[in-house]
Amino acid sequence: MDAISKQAGRLSLWQAAFVVARRDFLAILFSRAFIFFLLGPLFPIVVGALAGGIGAQVQSEALSADVGIAMPAEDLDAMMQARDELAARIGPAIPPFVELERLEEGEAFDPVAVLEGREGRLAAVVTGTLEEPHLTAPEANIGRWSGTISMIAATATRSEATSYPTVESTTVATSGARENRGRYQTAQSGMVLLFLLIMLLAGMVLSNLVEEKGNKIIEILAAAIPMDAVFMGKLFAMLAISAIGIAVWGAAGATILTLGGRSLSEFANPGVGWPLFFTFGAIYFAMGYLLLGSIFLTIGSMAATVREVQTLNMPVTMAQVLVFFFASLAVTMTGTWIEFAAMAFPLSSPFAMLARAAVDEAIWPHLVALAWQALCVAVFIRVGSTLFRKKVLKSGPQGASTKKRRLFSFASGKNS
């Protein structure tokens, strides 16, 4: 502290913030409590496994699949009409049909290329004619829908015969529906992991501040350097500690997967690809942590005891849970105002954008979102540090000095 006090006269705001950040970072990194901190994710992992129903609506969206149809115009219209009639009687067992192309006589159509293009929700493609329908799909869907397609084709012929045509089939490795389902699962998993990490790690900055307020260290810092620098230093120090923790947990998880013979190739490739998905995940974690950490630091400055911290912290924690559910809902409503609202609202934006990185290939929305989030982080830090300075200094040395000066002036006036 003496070194900080001696340098206070020539340290800029950023230099003073770096001094505080380095002090907090080294103090936590080389403490015994850091080992227990690294063991902290065991509890959220168990909770996350038990809370598997959190994404029920997302799973419902991801599991929906369509059957494309490309036939001569008359046959296509008959198949679509027969499908609607059977769906009205049988229900969800009849898959939705999507018209792909009305073929002219002799015109070729490649259903394999359409399915392996991994676009949309297509799980199968029906071609051929009413008398000789042809189903192209992954192996599991061929067994699932061959009988259904045969029944639809028989209904479409409008003949009195009860015979059902034989459905020829072609097997493909994957389909758009399977890829779409995997991407939605990746989006939901990424959002849950991001939420757990932010909620677990952002609380550390609050507990650290309450401890220092209790042993009066914060008042010593207030006398030595600007309180804005204390605010930013503590915030970024905890972000650096969190990054180390995530790196350790990530390395442990990768080791477990490797020893278990698993790899990322077994999972659906995110829209932006795995390298960019992990990069965006790290950046969105930093943005979400700084936003929530700023709120927690501001709350800590308003509380004088641990009980007050818990009282003030609870509404923010519950609100963040609601924000997470809002972002989860937005995943199921792509292209609607709910999705755009989730991407624009600062506290839900990191979750919504990470989900978008999993399901969509576009890069430019992330650049726009990151610029917006960076602006929001700057505003949150500015407002938070201002409130932090006002609240902390009320009980700090400067507040005591002001009272002493007032008493001295009052005594001097009375003596005169």
Q: Render pLDDT for 378-404 as a digit per residue (tens, 0 to 9).
A: 998 888 888 877 776 565 444 444 443
DSSP for residue 336? S
Lowest-confidence region among 31-35, 85-89, 145-149:
31-35
> 93: burial class by Cβ within 10 Å (0-12, 13-18, 19+)?
exposed
Percentage of residues of the chain with pLDDT beyond 70: 70
pLDDT of residue 272: 86
Quote the distance between the C-alpha of residue 353 and its chain's center.
7
User: Going by C-beta distance under 8 Å and a sequence separation of 6 or more, which residues neighbour residue 312?
Assistant: 299, 302, 303
Confidence band of 169 (pLDDT split at 50, 70, 90) = low
Lowest-confidence region among 151-155, 285-289, 318-322, 384-388:
384-388
Mean pLDDT of 278-305: 84
> Mean pLDDT in the chain?
75
pLDDT of residue 398: 44
Bridge partners of residue 99, in order along the sequence: 69
Which pTM value belongs to this model? 0.62
Which residue, 371, 350, 343, 200, is CA-closest to 288?
A: 350
Identity of the highest mean pLDDT range in 50-54, 134-138, 412-416: 134-138
pLDDT of residue 146: 81
pLDDT of residue 171: 60
Percentage of residues of the chain with pLDDT beyond 90: 8
342: phi > 0 → left, psi -120 to 50 → alpha, else beta; which?
Answer: alpha
pLDDT of residue 120: 61
**Domain ranges, ordered by start, for the chain:** 2-58+179-401, 64-174
Cα Rg for the chain, rounded, in angstroms?
30
Per the CB < 8 A criterion, the answer to whether 156 and 130 are in contact is yes
pLDDT of residue 283: 93
Identity of the highest mean pLDDT range in 115-124, 362-371, 390-399: 362-371
Apex 296 CA angle, 285 and 289, nearest 5: 5
- Look at 156 and 4; give whichever has higher pLDDT: 156
